[in-house]
Amino acid sequence: MRPAAGPATPAPRSAPLSGRVARWLVDRWVVGVALLVLGYLLLPIAVVAALSFNQPTNRLSYDFHRFTLDNWANPCATRDMCDAVVRSVQVGFLATLVATVLGTMMAYALTRHRFRGRSGIGLLVLLPMATPELVLGTSLLALFVAAGAPQGFWTVVVAHVMFCLSFVVVTVRARLAGMDRRLEEAAMDLYATEWQAFRRVTLPLLLPGIAAAALLAFSLSFDDFIVTNFNAGTTVTFPMYVWGAAQRGIPPQVNVVGTAMFALALLLVALTSLPRRPSRPHR
Amino acid sequence: MPDDDPPGGDLHLVDLSKRFGRVTAVDSVSLTVPQGSYFALLGASGCGKTTTLRMVAGLERPTGGRVLLGDRDLTGLRPYRRPVNTVFQSYALFPHLDVFDNVAFGLRRRGVREVPEQVRRMLALVQLDGYERRRPGQLSGGQQQRVALARALVNRPRVLLLDEPLAALDLTLRRQMQGELKRLQTDLGTTFVHVTHDQEEAMTLADTVAVLHAGRVEQLGAPADLYDHPASAFVATFLGQCNLLAAEAAGTAGDEVAVTAYGLRLAVPADRARADRGAVHLGVRPEKLRLAGTADEVPAGHQQIPAVVTDVTYLGSGTRYLLRTGWGGELSAYTVNDGTGARLPVGAAVLAHWVPRHAFLLPRDPVERAAAPAGEPVGAPG
Amino acid sequence: MTDRSAPSPASHRTPAARPAASVPGGGPGRRRVLPYLLVLPGVAWLVLFFGLPLVQLAAASLYDPTGSLSTGYVFAWAFGNYPDALATYWPHLARSFGYAGLALLLALALGCPLAYAIALRAGRWRNLLLVCVVAPMFTSFLVRTLAWKTILSDQGWLVGLLRDVHLLAPDGRLLATPFAVVLGLTYNFLPLLVLPLYASLERLDRRVLEAATDLYADPLRTFLTVTLPLAKPGLVAGVLLFFIPASGDYINAELLGSPNEYMVGNVIDSAFLVRLDHPQGAALSFLLMAAVLGLVVTLLRHTRGEGSPALDGGAR
């Protein structure tokens, strides 16, 4: 990891021996532990990927039995599961759209305007993040029951927008705070109205932040189980399907979806991080 | 906008004030910037000069007072309704737009036709033709500075505001850009208001300099007036170095003011005195002090103070001497190395003398004497 | 010149300074309304679907417990629901915080070296390692927890290995034990702890560390006196982001544990969805939230005033 100080070539004699030994230990120890922890983090993903190529002996067995591509070839062999994935994508798309638009508006107002109640609203936005998901779920359930609202697709969307909103605001706000305010002032000085300054200067520069926030919102929504579980009624999202199937034994296609999501996310990360590099000069 | 109204006229700031909470950044500043002049707002950081500029640009709302351009009241107008453009500190070029689009930004917002022609002409004027498709991140500091200038000037503003435009450049480039700013201003005849903390820059460029201190205008005038006849001890020491002697003035007699400093009886021409009674500062610039070995070398009519040389610094073009006076004060003198006199050694007894017209009298707060020992050369060297 | 008594050429025309509020022009009025228009939809959403539900949950926790979902609940200020729920389910609450606390300690032991190594030792590998840390979040929470179920299963290689080396009795299990639940909690929320910690370590000016070394601090002392205090905001944010979901989680207890490991979440889930005892579920929800909020406030108060930019990114 640090080719400069390999153990084979001892450091110059000038440093005191105890210091060098301590430094060497700290370096190696930290790096060693870090690698082990990474292994811990990646192990289950490897298992999921492996199982996606498994032909199980029976539904309750998770042992690797025989390599097959069948699961990837027929991801929709279990119809219910595919329906659930489609449902999750629909929910995720709607929730992301609404949360990103509302959240960006809020973040802009909170960073670029001073107004009464600003700090109170800033706190209100943070509160859902500090509340256990379980409580978010049960309280919404209590509300929907009291209001007599039928639970289903739309209650799930509403709930997902609520918890995604906070994350969008925090993400976009951080990006806005790091943006030179003089750019917007320069735009206004050059005859751009506030809207034009936002449209021509703020928005293009903010776009990576908004995209990151939208991705985060979508992944939070797609993966949510707890809040959904309390508010889905008979609607089945992908996590809900997995939860139900876990009792009966899950089909290997679930691992296909898990692996595919992982691969897709990696691809997105690669795509978004590559072109950003040259635009920023080295400090 | 700027095209359809009559030529701007003078820029007036009338009792302009800005308070941030309990802090007063600008304290009822009133001044007039004549049309077509190069005007500098000079002051140390935190003196309110940038806030003043931002109020003219419309980026800051004044707490009191007005901004007038000719007969037009700009005070309540949003920045995009003012015929005024700004070159921002560190430029604020749009990083996502190339040079052409940066310069075209203002023209497009105003719906001007012939955008490409105007942009090209302006880029040629700042010697950046051929750089249209570069992004700001691919330009050097000096080139970015030119883009910022072009982006503002292409709109033909009535007033161009420059906020520390050269602060980010190194010394050589700064000198070069100073020349170009002056050339552009002369060619275009646009009113320039230039904010800077660099007194040399202000004196080099501006027709008129306003020295700001603690949110107020200390003095306003041509660079030579400010230097030769400062209105306050602050101005005297902020612009160059100055020897200030704490003295007592006894009023005008004839065309002279009689002054006593540490037992020495001195005189200053009445038209060089901003105060003629009570506690005063007697000021003489180091380069106006000459040194003589004996009393007969002092020309008739010169004022003189006996002192001892304590330090000699050779500076190439000149030599700086530090002198200690009989009462323990310190004086600074600067002589040009023109090959005439020999350099004086440390420890030499000298007479520091000056032409009476080269001194000036400033009012002095009597309690100041306790705080700052009199006779010390005050102000930043160089 | 600036003195009011000394008139400047321009001030003849306007004898007195006028307050800017009386300035004409249409701009200022609209400007004051705009931020409210911008925040209104989001705030309305949060009030309607976060604030109001909490009020309703509070009301539900005080329903007359003899009612039922089918016959209808009656609001009765039934504060007794709280001690009743606590008397029956205190072990579950205790387990929630016990497991989450253990998982937090474990996560700190694993996450601190990891964040430190990525931020200060990884060089050009940094981005790749970061992706590896976030990687688990890219797969479904449930799918990766089920993967642990596979790894820890009685027929799995891990249990076999541990039995062979006698770390585990021949009939010993990993699944359905507190160990499995804590391991799952640690695993699932570890990235949430590492990321903010990494961010604050990465922002840290390396020259400060070099200065410490230059001033005769050995590596350990540098870490304790310079690195740690500077990384504290990130550490606090990480601890909160880890502990809040971990203490409210019940997926790990359900999938990796047995009813003996059930946490308060399992009870709340069944109270609302199986036993349909809303007052009890609501009361337990509030107890959980109160405990978590108390913890958050305590932790934030302890670290306040050290200039922590922790969560509030925008204030300038």
- Concatenating the DSSP letter of every residue in B307-376 gives EEEEEEEE-SSEEEEEEEETTS-EEEEEEE--SSSPPPPTT-EEEEEE-GGG-EEEE--TTHHHHS-TTP
In this complex, which chains have at least 3 CB pairs below 8 Å with chain B?
A, C
B32 touches chain C (CB under 8 A): yes
Q: What is the pLDDT of residue A273?
A: 67
Interface probe for A, chosen from C138, C157, C158 (most Cβ of A below 10 Å), is C138
Q: What is the pLDDT of residue A130?
A: 87
Q: Residue A124: give the domain boundaries.
A: 79-250
* A268 in a structural domain: no
Q: What is the mean pLDDT of residues B71-77?
A: 91
Between CA B161 and CA B74 the distance in angstroms is: 15
Find chain C residues with C-beta within 8 A of A22's C-beta.
Answer: 218-220
- Does residue A61 sit in the same domain as residue A85? no
Name residues whose C-beta falls within 8 Å of residue A96's C-beta, 6 or more positions apart in sequence. A164, A214, A217, A218, A221
The mean pLDDT of chain B is 89
* B64-69 and B11-20 beta bridge pairing: antiparallel
Q: CA of C87, closest CA in chain B: separation in Å?
A: 54
User: Among A2-6, A56-60, B178-182, B252-256, whose mean pLDDT is lowest?
Assistant: A2-6
Q: What is the mean pLDDT of residues A87-113?
A: 95
Between CA A27 and CA A150 the distance in angstroms is: 58
H helix or E strand, kind and range, residue B303: strand B303-314
Q: What is the mean pLDDT of residues A108-134?
A: 91
CA distances from A204 to A189, A209, B99 (A): 18, 10, 16
CB contact under 8 A, C265 and A134: yes
CB contact under 8 A, C313 and A173: yes
pTM for the structure as a whole: 0.81
CA distances from B320 to B199, B317, B323, B345, B354 (A): 20, 10, 10, 12, 16
Find chain C residues with C-beta within 8 A of B27's C-beta.
Answer: 2
Q: What is the mean pLDDT of residues B251-276?
A: 89
Q: What is the mean pLDDT of residues B155-160?
A: 94
A265 touches chain C (CB under 8 A): yes
Confidence of residue A62 (pLDDT cuts 50, 70, 90): low
User: Among B164-173, B318-327, C3-12, whose mean pLDDT is lowest?
Assistant: C3-12
- CA-closest candidate to residue C184, choices C156, C147, C134: C147
Interface probe for B, chosen from A181, A182, A191, A203 (most Cβ of B below 10 Å), is A191
Query: Listing from the earlier edge strand, what are the strands of the sheet with B23-33?
Result: B23-33, B11-20, B64-69, B72-73
- Residue with the bigger pLDDT between A101 and A270: it is A101
Going along chain C from its start, the domains and CATH numbers come out as 88-303 (1.10.3720.10)
Q: Which residue in C has a C-alpha nearest to residue B211's C-alpha? A: C1
Confidence of residue C228 (pLDDT cuts 50, 70, 90): confident
- Does residue A186 sit in the same domain as residue A142? yes
* A224 in a structural domain: yes
ipTM: 0.84
Q: Which residue in C has a C-alpha nearest to residue B55's C-alpha? A: C20
- Does residue A182 sit in the same domain as residue A42? no
Residue B280 has pLDDT above 60, yes or no: yes
Q: What is the pLDDT of residue A185?
A: 93
CB contact under 8 A, B28 and C17: yes
Minimum-distance CB partner of C42 among A105, A135, A145: A105
- Does residue A98 sit in the same domain as residue A207? yes
Minimum-distance CB partner of A170 among C113, C147, C313: C313
Q: Which residue in C has a C-alpha nearest to residue A165's C-alpha? A: C42
Q: What is the pLDDT of residue C30?
A: 54
- Other CB atoms within 10 A of residue B221 CB: 18
From A70, A90, A117, give the residue that closes a domain. Answer: A70
Going along chain B from its start, the domains and CATH numbers come out as 2-224 (3.40.50.300), 229-378 (2.40.50.140)
Find chain A residues with C-beta within 8 A of B106's C-beta.
Answer: 190-191
Minimum-distance CB partner of C1 among B17, B61, B220: B220
Confidence of residue A5 (pLDDT cuts 50, 70, 90): very low
Using one digit for the tens of pLDDT, what is the confidence trace for B114-123? 899 999 999 9
- Does residue A132 sit in the same domain as residue A58? no
Confidence of residue A63 (pLDDT cuts 50, 70, 90): low
Question: Is residue B205 helix, strand or coil?
Answer: helix
* A282 in a structural domain: no
H helix or E strand, kind and range, residue B28: strand B23-33
Find chain B residues with C-beta within 8 A of C24's C-beta.
Answer: 73, 76
Q: What is the pLDDT of residue C24?
A: 34
CB contact under 8 A, A192 and B80: yes
Q: What is the pLDDT of residue A59?
A: 56
CB contact under 8 A, B28 and C10: no
Between CA A44 and CA A59 the distance in angstroms is: 19
C11 touches chain B (CB under 8 A): yes
* A106 in a structural domain: yes
- Does residue A152 sit in the same domain as residue A51? no
Find chain A residues with C-beta within 8 A of C155's C-beta.
Answer: 63
Q: What is the pLDDT of residue A170?
A: 93
What are the tokens at C17? 């300074």
Minimum-distance CB partner of B30 among C8, C18, C27: C8
Q: What is the pLDDT of residue B3?
A: 46
Interface probe for C, chosen from B17, B32, B56, B66 (most Cβ of C below 10 Å), is B66
Residue C120 has pLDDT above 90, yes or no: no
Q: Quick check: B335 and B290 in contact, CB under 8 A?
A: yes
- Ramachandran angles phi, psi of B247, nearest 5°: -145, 170
A160 touches chain C (CB under 8 A): no
CB contact under 8 A, A182 and B92: yes
* B216-221 and B242-253 beta bridge pairing: unpaired
From A40, A70, A100, give the residue that closes a domain. Answer: A70
- Does residue A86 sit in the same domain as residue A180? yes
Q: What is the mean pLDDT of residues B125-129?
A: 91
Q: Report the percentage of chain A scoring pLDDT > 70.
A: 84
What are the tokens at A158? 């509403």
Q: What is the pLDDT of residue B374?
A: 40
Name residues whose C-beta falls within 8 Å of residue C173's C-beta, 6 or more positions apart in sequence. C154, C159
Q: What is the pLDDT of residue B319?
A: 92
- Does residue A125 sit in the same domain as residue A225? yes
Beta bridge partners of B42: B196, B211
Q: What is the pLDDT of residue C301?
A: 84
In this complex, which chains have at least 3 CB pairs below 8 Å with chain A?
B, C
B76 touches chain C (CB under 8 A): yes
- Does residue A111 sit in the same domain as residue A128? yes
- Does residue A150 sit in the same domain as residue A27? no
Between CA A167 and CA A95 the distance in angstroms is: 12
Q: What is the pLDDT of residue A4?
A: 42
- Does residue A50 sit in the same domain as residue A89? no
Provide the number of structural domains found in chain A.
2
- Residue with the bigger pLDDT between B185 and A67: it is B185
* A262 in a structural domain: no
* Burial A193-228, CB ≥16 within 10 A → b, else e: bbebbbebbbeebbeebbebbbbbbbbbbbbbbbbb
Sign of the C-alpha dihedral computed for residues B299, B301, B307 and B311 taken in this order: negative
* B349-354 and B290-292 beta bridge pairing: antiparallel
Q: What is the pLDDT of residue C18?
A: 36
Q: What is the pLDDT of residue B1?
A: 44
Classify residue A42 as exposed, middle or buried by CB count within 10 Å of its CB (0-12, 13-18, 19+): middle
Q: Quick check: A209 and A195 in contact, CB under 8 A?
A: no
Between CA B119 and CA A2 the distance in angstroms is: 51
Q: CA of B133, closest CA in chain A: separation in Å?
A: 15
Q: What is the pLDDT of residue B123?
A: 94
- CA-closest candidate to residue B16, choices B8, B7, B28, B5: B28
Q: What is the mean pLDDT of residues B344-356?
A: 92
C297 touches chain A (CB under 8 A): no
- Ramachandran angles phi, psi of A192, nearest 5°: -90, 130
Q: What is the pLDDT of residue B293?
A: 86
* A116 in a structural domain: yes
Q: What is the CB-side half-sphere exposure of residue B184 using CA atoms within 13 A?
A: 22
* Residue whose pair of structure tokens reads 């978010």 in the numeric block: A136
Q: What is the pLDDT of residue A60?
A: 54
Between CA A90 and CA C2 the distance in angstroms is: 66
* A280 in a structural domain: no
Q: Would you give the end-to-end CA distance of chain B in angstroms? A: 44
Name residues whose C-beta falls within 8 Å of residue A116's C-beta, 6 or more positions apart in sequence. none
* A274 in a structural domain: no
Supply the CATH number for residue A177's domain.
1.10.3720.10
Q: What is the mean pLDDT of residues A45-68?
A: 77
Report C:133-162 residues touching A (Cβ under 8 A): 133-144, 146-151, 153, 155
Residue C116 has pLDDT above 70, yes or no: yes
Q: What is the pLDDT of residue C314?
A: 33
CB contact under 8 A, C150 and A62: yes
Q: What is the pLDDT of residue A72?
A: 86
Query: Listing from the earlier edge strand, what are the strands of the sheet with B330-336?
Result: B290-292, B349-354, B303-314, B318-325, B330-336
Q: What is the mean pLDDT of residues C17-29?
A: 38
- Does residue A134 sit in the same domain as residue A243? yes
Find chain B residues with C-beta within 8 A of A182's C-beta.
Answer: 88-90, 92
* Residue whose pair of structure tokens reads 């007063």 in the numeric block: B24
- What is the full DSSP assignment across A49-65? HHHTTB--SSTT--S--
- CA-closest candidate to residue A63, choices A74, A72, A54, A76: A54
Residue C311 has pLDDT above 50, yes or no: no
CB contact under 8 A, A102 and C142: no
* Residue whose pair of structure tokens reads 């609501």 in the numeric block: C282
Between CA A237 and CA A227 the distance in angstroms is: 12
